[in-house]
Amino acid sequence: MNAAELSRAAASWADADPDAATAAEVRELIAKNDTKELEDRFGASLEFGTAGLRGILGGGPNRMNRAVVRRTTAGLARYLKKHVPDVEKRGVVVGRDGRRMSAELAADAAAVLCAEGIPALYFPEVGPTPLIAFATLHLKAAAAAMVTASHNPPEYNGFKVYWGNGAQIIPPHDKGIAAAIDAVEPAKAVKLMPEAEAREKGLWRNVPQVVERAYLDAIAKLRVHGKPEDLTLVYSAMHGVGGRFVEACLREAGFSKVHFVAEQQQPDGAFPTVRFPNPEEKGAMDLSTALAERVRADVVLANDPDADRLAVMARDASGRLKMLTGNEVGVLLGAYLLQHTRAAKPLVITTIVSSAQLKAIAAAKGARYEQCLTGFKWIANRALELEPEGYAFVFGYEEALGYTVGTVARDKDGVGSALVVADLAAWCRSRSLTLFGYLEEVQRAHGLFLAKQANFTFPGTSGAAIIRGIMEGFRKQPPSRIGELGVTAALDYQAGVGTLPKADVVAYELDGGSRVTLRPSGTEPKIKIYFELKEAIGAGEAIAVARERGEKRLAALEAACLELAYARGLPKGGG
């Protein structure tokens, strides 16, 4: 669009915006003739997909705001009425995290559902995303909507949708809901039922407190070892909503030596102590680490703001606190749970960008192993597909700190995982091991897999074009080798790989079981490149020696791949 077209589109949006604040914000951009900002907000729209919606708060179709959420909820409601005959009896769960505007967006969603004749099963307080997934099944709801932007920076918010099976939506529902949203009238014309009227008609109903209790009781049953031993733990809620839930489940499990990062324990959408409330980001764990050193903690646990992810730190052989990667935590939990499962046909699932080490463990333990596209929606739905065949879902994980144990929540669960990691650490303590000691046991038995990733951020419509260009560059010029390793297979998931749904992912399988995978993020303006190297451990060799050698080879693999990426459109200096 040219400048005049952008101004007309923006003015039309402001006229239809039910929120005076964002309407005024857009009109100010028009008055300033801020073409660059108008193009970013009105040159594209947030796309509803399997991850729902996520974006920066503000006015315009390419931002998260009340107008977008009202139209999205209306589209969801109309799609449900068409495809779920008893939706007006079962209702839709509505939850929220503690971010800026989460309360307003959740209330708008509930009011739209009620106006459509669908009961809104409303959480009056903030809560973790996995609780919403649990509640969907527990209440036998037709669907659920969670207002959250997970671990994104404070200026973001989002809208995540669950189907009645308790898992996030997958095709064809994502496209069906998106089409229904496109057909919705302008936001100002979307009907809302006032809360008082909706409550009087029995449509706006608070979710009873017993649902939280049922969730915590279900989590408690996930423990294997069942004894707290003499562990000292540190926990951070990262200014999110997991604090009181993790505190309750650890206390009830008998872990008495738990220290909480007070500055980060209560929900605060401003995230005052961290710029980027993701435990993986530099500096995010500084307060946790400092507290852990003061109290000489054995293990540090941290959730992201909506408590669906979990970060873990533990002491290595030298006594130094060190972060476990998402893959390492996934491997530890997978090995621990498979070692103790009583299931006749155990099932574990991970993603195409997570470590292949879980496959080796599953093979040794006689478990079925499945690999899905990135995103827990695929893990949960695949587990549901296989359970009628008698498979018992034991564990699933993705390398981005997402794990779920059993079937309490059909999504990643940072609360339940926190308790199970504490239980695992207690079991290790009973065997005079640390988490890193157990990891060495697992790696000696099943192979040493080393992984890392490189992320490059390119915001806005111009950034999206850069990311598309890089992916297309690799498709047009697939390498025959990456550094010292030859390419044994080039996989373009957009063209189709096996029975997996098509996706914008390119992967290269390399000599010796190593691999490189490229994909744009589904929730952030990033392109991600994943590297995994399988390193042989010599007979009698210290694992630290093998690891050091492998990490050097892994760094060389990354450097060689980035040179290929620069030649295919990645700007020098990254993003």
Active site residues: 150
Sign of the four-CA dihedral 399, 402, 408, 409 = negative
Sign of the four-CA dihedral 389, 391, 392, 398 = negative
Q: Using alpha carbons, list the distances in angstroms from residue 96 to 256, 295, 297.
A: 30, 33, 32
Using a 10 angstrom Cβ sphere, with 0-12 exposed, 13-18 middle and 19 or more buried, the burial of residue 251 is: exposed
Sign of the four-CA dihedral 376, 377, 382, 385 = positive
Sheet holding 515-520, edge to edge: 448-457, 526-535, 515-520, 506-510, 485-492, 481-482
Per-residue DSSP letter, 387: G
Sheet holding 120-122, edge to edge: 53-56, 156-163, 143-147, 92-96, 120-122, 204-206
CB 236 within 8 A of CB 302: yes
Residues 6+ apart with CB under 8 A from 293: 321
CB 378 within 8 A of CB 431: no
Helix (H) or strand (E) holding 157: strand 156-163
Residues 6+ apart with CB under 8 A from 89: 119
Tell me how far apart the alpha carbons of residues 526 and 517 are, in angstroms, rounded to a whole number. 14
